[in-house]
Structure 1
Amino acid sequence: MSQASVLIPRRRAFEFSTRALLLLLPASLLFIALLAIPMLMTGELSLHGFSAETSSVLETRSWHNYALVLLDPYYQTIFLRTLGLALAVTVGAVVLGVPEAYIIFRMRPRWRAFFLIMTLAPLLISAVVRTLGWSILLSQNGVVASLIGWLGLTNGSPQMLFSFWAVVIVLIHALVPLVILSVWTSLQGIDPQSCDAALSLGAGQMTVWRRVVLPQVLPGVLSGSLMTFALSASAFATPALIGGRRLKVAATAAYDEFLNTLNWPVGATIAVLLLLLNLLVIGVYGKLVERRIQRRLGR
């Protein structure tokens, strides 16, 4: 093989990489301008001091705000509640979304399109409108409370709003379409005849699901659960409207610090710690699931 024939593919690869970088440049600049720079400014703001007497930000810089938030039991409870909320929503969305995606995938094309559109409908509705609708359903005189009272499960009309599990239910309803979309993408690479072949060889439906389908859709489950965790941990509208003032999470606590007490440095500190918590959990979870997938595939 001549040296010229070796240099041509390398030159083409270099031209392709240069062209790809030029195509990515506008999106990268937009990302830096709209996300990276504001986050850096937020991190810098979190180091400033705060004067309670004048409600003003001081020029002094220290790690005092981080020590305050991390060591205060009040903020510790808020972050633990945020973590528990995100984990509960993620587990619920995966438990509901993965089987639903597989059932829709196995339907006939006509019914498949209809149920897929119905499943993704929550993504087409504003988060505030959707949450207000749930607040009506979960109110003391709402449909859910009336149904529970009619069934005799409780004495009188139960108070469903302003509770932890009410926020979990509403967030699962809002985020389970993301899990379905991610799993649906993975299901497109599965040959339905492989499932039929396993059934013809005597495997049951649960065995086919566990041994044939689930290992192939684990990447979709991983991506869907990561998006669900990140969005539920940073959710603001649903905890504020459904959870109320008493059920604070990190996003609503940061909002109160910014707009109610005007303590911007502490609010920025909560926002930075929430981002770091998200990145830590997503990184550890992604590594663990990736190793399990590689182990299943024999790599």
Structure 2
Amino acid sequence: MASTLPASNNNSMKTGDTRRAPWHAFLPLWLMCAPAFLLFATLVLVPLVMTLVLTFYRFDPSSGPLAAFQFGNYAEVLKSSYFHTIFLRTFGIAFLTTLLCIVIGTPEAYVLSRMRDPYRSMFLLIILAPLLVSVVVRAFGWSMLLNSNGLVNQAFGLVGLGPYKLEYTTFAIVIALVHVMLPFMVIPVWTALQKLDPQTENAALSLMASPATTLRRIVLPQLTPGILSGSLMVFGLSASAFAIPGLLGGRRLKVAATAVYDEFLGSLNWPLGATIALLLLVANLIVMLTYYRVLERKYARSLG
């Protein structure tokens, strides 16, 4: 039996679709990306290139930076035990801060994901509250808590202990950095938990797996991307932090960021300061990329 199409369909086939494609569909892809690339180049690439060029300058105490092409600044930083100590302290503090944020932030995110509204929204606001306050204000707050007459030493005095020297120590820097960086760990882990299917946990429990085994074999492998992204952010921000190490570490406990500040604004040795900043960036990238590759392989093996 022959069938006929409705008249409306026949008309649409004859006339065709008269809708026009959007104007940006005719533009080449590189032209559409040009504004974003120009903004990125202006704000990121150009300052980096200028900093790289400055590292080859020579510093004269009487006249300031002089245009030259030499590697004296790199030799001074790489051969000096003083700068070795600064870089080891910088990455040691960043590593310890990242480790504490993982240990504290991962269970905190897991508990947060199990809460129900309105408690979850309330505790999420408490976690994000440090981001609403200036880093300088938070550093001064920790300074008042940890100084010789602060609340912490007063509490020790009530039980017959102390006073202890807590301010201008590595302990003070790490504690303040953990307080500042913890939201950057909790949010990625909490986001990864939102993608976790609760039925997988129920299936493991129904097959007589213990809660600890379920947490270790089911939950933690799926949290690895969140822990990885959070730890990368925390490590990078901690290694380049300036305000907290500068205010709570004092002049004695220098890190790379405060050393750059001193060279630029203290001795006015801009080429040496630019060299320290560039080496910090390179070392930070190497550590973060290595860490990313190692954890990525472990995550792929756990899924396999």
Instruction: Tell me how far apart the structure 1 counterparts of residues 111 and 26 of structure 2 sit (CA, whole Å).
Output: 41
Q: Which of 59, 66, 69 in structure 2 is aligned with 1:58?
A: 66
Structure 2 CA distance for partners of 1:17 and 1:211, relative to 1, 3 Å = farther
Q: Which residue of 2 aligns with 1:5?
A: none
Instruction: Tell me how far apart the structure 2 counterparts of residues 23 and 128 of structure 1 sit (CA, whole Å).
Output: 40
Q: Which residue of 2 aligns with 1:229?
A: 235
1:260 aligns with 2:269: no
TM-score (ref. length: structure 2): 0.88
1:40 aligns with 2:46: no
SS in 2 for 1:103: helix
- Note the C-alpha offset of 1:18: 6.4
Q: Which residue of 1 aligns with 2:9?
A: none
Conservation of the 8 A alpha-carbon contact between 1:128 and 1:237? yes
Q: What letter is aligned with 1:256?
A: D
Q: What letter is aligned with 1:176?
A: L
Instruction: Tell me how far apart the structure 2 counterparts of residues 17 and 134 of structure 1 sit (CA, whole Å).
Output: 57
For residues 107-160 of structure 1, the C-alpha deviation after alignment (integer angstroms, 9 at most, x for no partner) is: 1232111111111111111111111111111111111122223234x3x31121
Q: What letter is aligned with 1:75?
A: F
Structure 2 CA distance for partners of 1:18 and 1:130, relative to 1, 3 Å = farther
Instruction: Tell me how far apart the structure 1 counterparts of residues 218 and 295 of structure 2 sit (CA, whole Å).
Output: 18
- Number of aligned positions between the proteins: 282
Q: Which residue of 2 aligns with 1:25?
A: 34
Structure 2 CA distance for partners of 1:64 and 1:185, relative to 1, 3 Å = same
Structure 2 CA distance for partners of 1:106 and 1:274, relative to 1, 3 Å = same
Q: Which residue of 2 aligns with 1:89?
A: 97
SS in 2 for 1:159: coil
Instruction: Tell me how far apart the structure 1 counterparts of residues 95 and 254 of structure 2 sit (CA, whole Å).
Output: 16
- Note the C-alpha offset of 1:16: 7.3
| Uncovered stretches (5+) of structure 1, i.e. residues with no partner | 1-11
For residues 192-242 of structure 1, the C-alpha deviation after alignment (integer angstroms, 9 at most, x for no partner) is: 232233233333332221111110010110000000000000000000001
The CA RMSD over aligned residues, in Å, is 1.8
Q: Which of 226, 243, 246 in structure 2 is aligned with 1:240?
A: 246
Structure 2 CA distance for partners of 1:69 and 1:194, relative to 1, 3 Å = same
Instruction: Tell me how far apart the structure 2 counterparts of residues 106 and 17 of structure 1 sit (CA, whole Å).
Output: 48
Instruction: Tell me how far apart the structure 2 counterparts of residues 90 and 259 of structure 1 sit (CA, whole Å).
Output: 30
Instruction: Tell me how far apart the structure 2 counterparts of residues 79 and 130 of structure 1 sit (CA, whole Å).
Output: 25
Q: What letter is aligned with 2:135?
A: A
Conservation of the 8 A alpha-carbon contact between 1:55 and 1:262? no
Instruction: Tell me how far apart the structure 2 counterparts of residues 217 and 21 of structure 1 sit (CA, whole Å).
Output: 36
Q: Which residue of 1 aligns with 2:293?
A: 287
- Note the C-alpha offset of 1:68: 0.3
Q: Which residue of 2 aligns with 1:118?
A: 126
- Note the C-alpha offset of 1:188: 1.1
Moved more, 15-24 or 100-109: 15-24
- Note the C-alpha offset of 1:17: 11
Q: Which residue of 2 aligns with 1:204?
A: 210
Instruction: Tell me how far apart the structure 2 counterparts of residues 121 and 56 of structure 1 sit (CA, whole Å).
Output: 44
Moved more, 117-126 or 266-275: 117-126
Q: What letter is aligned with 1:35?
A: V
- Note the C-alpha offset of 1:263: 0.4
The percent of aligned pairs where both chains have the same amino acid is 51
TM-score (ref. length: structure 1): 0.90
Conservation of the 8 A alpha-carbon contact between 1:167 and 1:238? yes
SS in 2 for 1:140: coil
> Which protein shows a greater Rg?
2
Q: Which residue of 2 aligns with 1:159?
A: 165
SS in 2 for 1:120: helix
